[in-house]
């Protein structure tokens, strides 16, 4: 395996799933994930979701860079964070609230459990 790797969907088989139906608030979001790395509690790759809204609860740390689309994270405390193309964010363990995809969103992610 090479020691560098381009972050791309090319030549990587996607995993397609949906959020737990009990967590879905609206829509029928479909998630497509291209996992590029999984080692020692570190995960990275690309993730895409179609529009919808669901409840989230983070036990892990995640860095995201939005490549396309528009999503809104709303915390239980009422805080609202718009995620748009070009934005980079850190989501820390303990964040609870909702993730709403307004426009199909594609992001790079790095997750540390």
- 52: domain CATH number is 2.60.120.10
For the cut 80, the answer to whether the pLDDT of residue 1 exceeds it is: no
pTM: 0.95
Domain holding 97, by residue range, is 23-112
pLDDT, one tens digit per residue, over 16-68 is 999 999 999 999 999 999 999 999 999 999 999 999 999 999 999 999 999 99
Q: Is residue 5 part of a domain?
A: no
String of DSSP letters for 65-88: EEEEEEEEEEETTS-EEEEETT-E
Residue 3 lies in a domain: no
Strand-strand pairing, 31-39 and 42-49: antiparallel
- CB of 28 within 8 A of CB of 83? no
- DSSP string over 26-69: EE---EEEEEEEEETTEEEEEEEE-SEEEEEE-SSEEEEEEEEE
- Please give the pLDDT value at position 11: 87
Number of domains in the chain: 1
Which tens digit of pLDDT belongs to each residue from 64-110? 999 999 999 999 999 999 999 999 999 999 999 999 999 999 999 99
d(CA 23, CA 1): 38
């Amino acid at each position: 395996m090479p020691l560098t790797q381009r972050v791309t969907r090319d030549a990587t088989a996607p995993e397609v799933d949906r959020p737990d139906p009990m967590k879905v608030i609206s829509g029928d979001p479909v998630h497509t994930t291209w996992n590029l790395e999984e080692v020692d509690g570190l995960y990275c790759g690309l993730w895409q979701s179609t529009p919808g809204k669901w409840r989230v609860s983070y036990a892990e740390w995640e860095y995201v860079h939005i490549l396309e689309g528009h999503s809104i994270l709303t915390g239980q405390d009422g805080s609202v964070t718009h995620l748009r193309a070009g934005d980079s964010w850190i989501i820390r363990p303990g964040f609870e609230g909702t993730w709403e995809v307004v426009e199909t969103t594609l992001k790079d992610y790095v997750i540390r459990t």
